[in-house]
Amino acid sequence: MAEILDQSEIDALMTAVTDGAVQTAPSTDPRVFTRRKLSGDVEIKDYDFKRPERVSKDQMRSLQTLHEAFARNFGASLSGFLRTIVEVKVATCEQMTYSEFISGLPNPTSFNLVNASGLEGQMCLEISPLIIYPIIDRLLGGTSQDLFIPQRPMTLIEQRLITNVTTRGLTALSEAWSTVRPLAFTIVATESNPQLVQIVPPNEVVIVIGFELKMTNRAGTMNLCIPYNVIEPLMEELSSQSWFSAAKSQRSPDVEKQITQTLSRAGLRVAAMLAETTITLHDLLVLAPGDVITTDRAATSPIVLSVEGERKFTAEVGQCRGQRAVRVGKAMGANDRV
């Protein structure tokens, strides 16, 4: 066996190497380390291994586009409900840890736990008091001009009033997600202190979509927090290509039936044109009852039937049950002449 050095011999050897008494063998294959110069078009980003990005950029863009549609529908629904213009738009769409999301929320606030049918886990819908109390004041008949924002949890009556707002928001959210998968969202609990609610571990990755709400002279924020493990089964469907193709190819039969029924009841103006001619201004001025205006069209020739001013059919003039009537002939093309 090779001789094993004790600690005192190792220390003596290291001292001899440092003093130069023992020469070290040069490396047969020396390595030369140089600093590589980066070109100007190379982008360097910090990567935090504690916060892995589990959602791709395409999926994040799809989520942002999906919730932009939700913001438009929610704003229109709120405007009709509150009888004033309410603007809702997407401000941010990013992924972070759940602890970072919670630490950035005010206390107290309106913190709602949301369940989605068909998905495991819960989401969070947070609405800032800066916009909640102006909405409540509006519902109670106020103008919210000199409204004071109280720093307290909402009362039961205030929570009941805000339920009308959150219900409309979840309905609009279901309509937006229907392009990916039919989901029904329901609120299962409401809390004023977000620090007391932990739906996922603090280091779990969540997707936070931030919205900005504006109503007359008031503005506030709303945040939708979606844990990654909740929508993980839908991530493949959220790629930009499949999401856009699904939005184009999927059509609800109920919506088509409703649109068809609504259009079928719409009224249209139908006019039968007997003939056309031109006269001079002098003839028009001296025109009197009993005068006859002649045209180049024979009395037996077909006439033109117009729908909303557009020439659509040829027709024949007659009577039906003692009333003037026209019998529709053939359809007319854009270049047909009668």
pLDDT at 8 over 70: yes
pLDDT at 51 over 60: no
pLDDT at position 225, please?
92
Residue 270 Cα distances to 171, 267, 310, angstroms: 41, 10, 9
**For residues 273 and 211, which has the higher predicted lDDT (pLDDT)?**
211
- CB contact set of 138 (below 8 Å; sequence gap of 6+): 82, 84, 144, 215
CA distance 230 to 238: 13
Q: Poorest-confidence range of 12-21, 63-72, 153-162, 169-178?
A: 12-21
Contact between 206 and 194 under an 8 Å Cβ cutoff? The reply is: no
pLDDT at 246 over 50: no
The residue-averaged pLDDT of 181-206 equals: 88
Nearest CA-CA partner of 222 in 96, 97, 123, 119: 123
**For residues 96 and 254, which has the higher predicted lDDT (pLDDT)?**
96
Q: Poorest-confidence range of 145-149, 191-195, 236-240?
A: 236-240
pLDDT at 236 over 70: yes
Output the pTM of the full model.
0.57
Nearest CA-CA partner of 183 in 257, 110, 123, 236: 123
pLDDT at position 90, please?
92
Give the pLDDT band (50/70/90) at residue 208: very high
**For residues 158 and 10, which has the higher predicted lDDT (pLDDT)?**
158
Give the pLDDT band (50/70/90) at residue 241: very low
Nearest CA-CA partner of 149 in 114, 109, 182, 111: 109
CA dihedral 303, 309, 312, 318 (to 10 degrees): -30
Give the pLDDT band (50/70/90) at residue 243: very low
- The helix (H) or strand (E) run that includes residue 303 is strand 303-307
The residue-averaged pLDDT of 303-329 equals: 86
Contact between 212 and 88 under an 8 Å Cβ cutoff? The reply is: yes
Mean model confidence pLDDT for the chain: 82
pLDDT at position 211, please?
93
pLDDT at position 170, please?
92
Report the chain's terminal Cα–Cα distance, integer Å: 117
The residue-averaged pLDDT of 293-319 equals: 85
pLDDT at 260 over 80: yes
pLDDT tens digit sequence for 97-124: 888 899 888 888 889 999 988 888 899 9
Give the pLDDT band (50/70/90) at residue 74: very high
User: 13's torsion region: left (phi>0), alpha (psi -120 to 50) or beta?
Assistant: alpha
Nearest CA-CA partner of 197 in 116, 277, 105, 288: 105
pLDDT at position 30, please?
56
The residue-averaged pLDDT of 166-195 equals: 89
Cα–Cα–Cα angle for 258, 261, 267, nearest 5°?
135
How many CB atoms are located within 10 Å of the residue 133 CB?
21
| Domains of the chain, each with CATH number or no CATH | 57-259 (3.40.1550.10), 270-331 (2.30.330.10)
Give the pLDDT band (50/70/90) at residue 1: very low
pLDDT at position 249, please?
47
pLDDT at 34 over 60: no
Q: If you write DSSP's letter for every residue of 184-229 in order, what string do you get?
A: -EEEEEEES-GGG--SS-TTSEEEEEEEEEEETTEEEEEEEEEEHH
The residue-averaged pLDDT of 209-221 equals: 89
